Every structure is written in structure tokens, then in C-alpha cells.
A and B are shown apart, each in its own frame.
Chain A
Amino acid sequence: MGIFDKLHGGLGKTRVGFGTKVLDLLTGRYVDEDLFEELEEALILADIGVSTSCELVDTLRGRARKEKIKESEALRAALIEEITALLEETGDGETGLSLAEGKLNIVLLMGVNGAGKTTTIGKIAMREKAAGKKVILAAADTFRAAAADQLAVWAKRASCDIIRQNEGGDPGAVVFDACRAAIARKADLLLVDTAGRLQNKSNLMSELEKISKIIDREAPEAVRQALLVLDSTTGQNAVSQAKIFGESAKLDGLVLTKLDGTAKGGVVIGIGRETGLPVRLIGVGEGIEDLQDFNAYEFAKALFTE
């Protein structure tokens, strides 16, 4: 099964909601003002946000006039192009984790409570372990009850090491130990799980800064990246999450989870425009193989085509 089929399969249910609606809108109709208005509503319902949705529709209006687009099918193709372009504009064109070979890579995952950080780490660990990498997990969520236990289950599944301390311990200390261990054991990849935190809790956000500083100090040679994990059911609040998490830790990209539901994750388009943060990985199901590298064109296409 190719990557496209898999993404398409995973997003199959997504299309039942938003995709089908847009599909119905954009099938066998003539392009007129009513169509544009309905399209705007459909885009807002996909969490794309009012301003981005309006601009997308305006762009399409302009193109329809200029290119004399009369049929809805042609408009659909134009919509896919526009969304792909918006998504591709962001970031450096890289996708996936793009780990450096022969060096220690440190990936810090952060996000609000319940976004799916621990599960994402588990999946990355299994994937990279299977690719022959030496992986270590750091349980820096010392706050939530049993968070480290949850990560330990994943460590066992992926048969990799886990660095943890008691609940209520200092996450900085966990990261310190983990950096030391990763260097000593010559690991390829250290995955750091952090506690979920709402972005307006300034004390918790400064804890992230501290973790980041410890990594700087203890593993200056390591190749680092920080990823924000976003639940695709999240609405416009995700924009604020991306901005404020970005202030505390230099973010390199997003992981969009739970895309196997009916939610659309449309907010990533707006986030890309406002913060320049690209989507790196998407979660489209419960299985390990359901964590995939993000591809803008396939993402847009899988949303809008049959």
C-alpha cells in the first residue's frame, strides 16, 4: 500500500465530514456567487479560520474570473492548488523528522493536555527503532499521574531505554539524566516527553525554557528539534498555542494527531501562514504505521478528491 493510499485511507473518514460537503459543493455545479458563499462556510467549518477562509475564497473568485472557470470541478482543482501552495510556502520544504545520521538527535515534544504527545513519542520510537536506530525515551512529564508509566509501556513495546524519575520530580533533572545517558550510550535519538500545559500558564512555559537550556548545556553537539503536538479537533486556539509555545521554545514544526476522526485539522493552514511552522508528521490511526510524514499535496488532495 502506497503512502498516498494509506493517507487517503486514514483520511477516508475525514472526508465523510468536510470532504464530502466540499465535494458535493464542487460537483456538477456552475460557479456562481452562491457557490463561493457556501464554500466559505465549508472552509470555516473545517477550522481553517475566518480570515484564511475568506482570503482563499477571494483568491478563487479572482482566479475564476481571470481563468474563466465555469465548472465546479475546475474550481476544486484550483482549491487544491491554493491549499497545497499555502502549506508548501511554510517551512523549509523538509518533512518528517529528517534525523541527522551518525549524531545524537534530540526531539522535544510539547503541547497542551491531551494532545497526544506520549502516544506520538511511542509511535516515533517504534518506527525509528525498526529502522535500526538506538532510541532513548525521557519521561519529563513528572506531573500527570502515571504519565511515566504510560511512556514505560511504549518503551517496552519498542524495546528501548527509558529515563524516568518519581512522580512530582523535577523534569529538568530527568532531561539532564537523559542527555547524559543518551551521550554515554551513543544513542541516535532521544525523545523527550513533556507534561501537557496550557499555553497561558507562564510558570509552566518557563519550565520548557529551562528544559531547553539544559539540553543546550548538556548536549551541545546534538541535533535538536522541538515539535508542537496538535490535536486535529482543536479549533482556532491552536494558533495561539503555536505562537506562545514558539515563544518559549524554538519550534521546528507541528505534529497533527487524531486525523482519523471527523475533524479536519484545517487550522494548520492558518498556523502556517501566521507562524511559518510546517506540519512534519500526522497521526491517522491507532497503529504504529499510522504515524506518517506530512505531504502537503497529498493532504490537500486526500481532503478534496474521491
Chain B
Amino acid sequence: MASLSDRLQDIFTKLKGKARLSEADVNEALREVRVALLEADVNYKVAKDFVASIKSRAIGSEVLESLTPGQQVVKIVNEEMMALMGGEQAKLVVSSKPPTVILMAGLQGSGKTTSAGKIALYLKSQGKRPLLAACDIYRPAAIRQLEILGEKNNIPVFSLGDQENPLKIATEAVAHARKHGNDYLIVDTAGRLQIDEDMMREIEAVAEAVNPTETLLVVDAMAGQDAVNAAKVFDERLPITGIVLTKLDGDTRGGAALSVKAVTGKPIKFTGTGEKVEALEPFYPDRMASRILGMGDMLSLIERAQSSLDQEKVIAMEQRLRQSKFTFEDYMEQLQQIKKMGDTNELLSMVPGMGKQLKNIQVDDKQFARAEAIIQSMTKVERTNPAVINGSRKLRIARGSGQSVQEVNRLLKQFEQMQKMIKQINAMTQGKKKGKIPFGLPF
């Protein structure tokens, strides 16, 4: 099943190929857009309204008489998409009277506990002192799950076990946070169906007692048409201030992201983009729109690089590259830095134009692991001077790393090419103004 992004790009490529657009062309394209949106689980009504608003703008003279009518349509779609998702980035609101209480709510399995842990770590990395409160007394081991997340990331977790009611746990957690100087309190709650009256009353009571600054509704990005019904009810019962969209690293793109703001009027504040606790990102409607339209997302990529790469190492690496002193040690260093940045396929999809090209290429993260294993099986001499690697050394390296000699050869060849490339780049930039090799990464 082609993703929304692919489908839309195909539709717009067809449009862009035309020198003139007739009203019929636009209508045909928009009909396809509507189907693509529905197949991506954009809510029925949202899709309908979205297409209608594009249509009213696109069949105006500004598009039909333009020299690049296809481009104009894409521009309109991009703008409307941004608007649909809220336009501006919505940040977490801070309470003037600490602790700032963040209440998590949502259906079962949407990812509340994981998101609570991620948000806590996010705040901690900004120098805050978050406290987690474990109020899911129903799901077996839910409290334990939160405690483990806390232990691993050195974040305190407040819990009274599963015999006390969530209202009491939450209330005491606020007092605990105040006493211990925690400026943020994140209250994890049990998953509940929006039609479960008892459970909805329970969370209403919690919200009333702890008076949260932020009440975040956790929504699964893979949710279907019913997502908006659930979101609407939660929004009616609780003072929802924003959405956390989880599992966005799946192969579904955007359906719920496009609908949820339109239906609840509440902005998406965060997205969950991976299994790791660090995989939480603030949500930017403009970047999401350009990702969906295949225009890439360089800003996110650069930010990701800046936050995960070790700047000192990068500068040292750049100098070595300039002097064409690139060894296997450096190569390994790079592999590790890239791994820190996240899933390779996801990174590549952020490069403009790459998303579509890479449709059928899956970059296997394991290739990195294999390369690392091979390098680790080399001696120090071999790493700094690969020329010494002869047949018997190759055999030893292959055995040591559990790879075939062919694999070792492939890596050596790759490395050689890389060295050549670095020399070329250096030759090209010599004499010119200081050309900067981005992040010290030659690929």
C-alpha cells in the first residue's frame, strides 16, 4: 500500500507535467487526492472539507492562468495542510505556580505510559526536574513499567501501588512534587474507552483535583475513522490542551495528524517517532506538511544532528578529514554518531526528494552493525593503515567478526572509495573560501 506521501506526489507529478490546467484536470486530481486521504485514514468529513477548500482556491484564475499551474496547486495544498494541522508550533505551557501538572489521557494501547516517560526525559534534558505519577492501577504491571522507565532515565516516580485510587495517588503526587522541588508532574493514567462512564468520571475527578496546566490526549497515528469520535468525547469531558501523536514512525503518514486538530481544535504538541525513550519530537505543522508532500524536512534533520552529535568530536573529525587522514577509527566513530541520530530510513526520508526515490530501498541498520563488527576485529595497526591487510589478515578479521571474507572485502573497498572521495573534496575546496563539510560526514 503506497503511503499518502507517495500517492499525493504521484498525483501532483501528473499535474505539474501539464502546461495548462483545466477545471476538469483540477477536479480529477482533487478526486484522487480525496481517495488518497481517505485511504490514509484522514477523517471522512475532514477530507471532504479539505478538498473543498483547495478546490475553491485552485479553480480561481490565479492558478488556471499561471505559467506553472501544477506548482500553484501544490503550494495551495501545502498551505491548507499547514493550516489544518494548526499552522504554528504549539509549545508546552508552563504554570506560574509550580509544579506544572501534565495529565495524560487516552484509549488503551495508544502509548500513554511510554509517552509519559518520553516527555519526562525531554523535560529533564532541558534541565527541568520532572516527577512521574503512576495512576494506572488496572493494567497488570503498568506501574512497574513506569517505574522501570523512571529508573533507567533517572527520573523519580511517585506510586502508591495498585490498591489506592488514582485520585488519591494524583493528589499526593502533587504534594510530593511541591515538597521535593519538582517543577513538572506528569500523571500517567489507565487507558479507557470514551464510552466507559465510570472510567471517564474517574479521570474527570483526577483532572479536577490536580488542576492540570496541560491535559494531553494520546492518539495512535494508525487510528482509523473512529479516532475523531474518541478524541471528541475526551475533549468534551476533560480540559484537553493538546495531542501527543504516537507511533508516527510506522508506515502510516499523516492521517490522524491531519484530522485530529481539525476535529478537536487542539494542537498536536508532540509526536512519538520510535521505540527509544529519546524518540519524542515537538510537532511542527509546516515540517509535517512538507514531509507529507515529499519536500523533505531538512530543518528536523539538522536539529536532530545538532542534538545528538558530539560537537567536539565532529570538529576533530572535520580537521582530520581536511588533512585527508581518514582511518577506520574515524569511520567507526561516524557509524556510531549516525546510529545515535536514529533510524536510517527515517533520516533519509527527511532529505528533500529522497522519500520517493527510496521507496523500494530499505537501508538495513544491521549493515552498520556488520561494519562495526568487522572494524572491531581489526588490530590497531590495521585500522590506521588498512594497506597492511593481506589475505591471511582478512581471513582472521572475517572469522573474528563472524562475517564472510567477501563482506570484509566489500567494506575495505567502500572505505577506499570514501578516502578517495575525501581527497577529491579536499582538492576541490582548496584555495576556495573555506568550504564546510557538513557535520564532518562524508556521506
Contact = CB atoms under 8 A, between A and B. Distances in A.
A73 to B, nearest CB: 25
Given A47-B226, A150-B139, A240-B1, A113 B44 contact: no
A233 B35 contact: no
Contacts, number: 151
Nearest to B226: A263
Interface of A: 13, 16-17, 41, 44-47, 49-50, 112-116, 122, 143-147, 149-150, 152-154, 167, 198-203, 231, 233-240, 243, 258, 260-264, 266-267
A182 to B, nearest CB: 23
B225 A199 contact: no
Interface string B139-159: 111101111110010000000
A150 B140 contact: yes
Contacts of B222: 112, 234-235, 237-238
A233 B221 CA distance: 11
A150 B230 CA distance: 26
Contacts of A167: 148
Contact of B251 (A16, A146, A237, A267): A237
Nearest to B362: A202
A64 to B, nearest CB: 23
B125 to A, nearest CB: 19
B289 interface: no
Contact of B225 (A46, A112, A202): A46
The list of the 3 closest CB pairs from A to B, nearest first, reads A235-B224, A114-B109, A235-B41
Given A45-B44, A112-B247, A263 B224 contact: yes
Interface residues of B, number: 49
Contacts of A115: 109
B203 interface: no
A198 B250 contact: yes
A100 B194 CA distance: 39
Contacts of A262: 193-195, 226, 229-230
Given A114-B108, A202-B362, A150 B195 contact: no
A261 B193 contact: yes
A149 B1 contact: no
Contacts of B293: none
Nearest to B150: A145
A266 B142 CA distance: 30
Contacts of A240: 1, 251-252
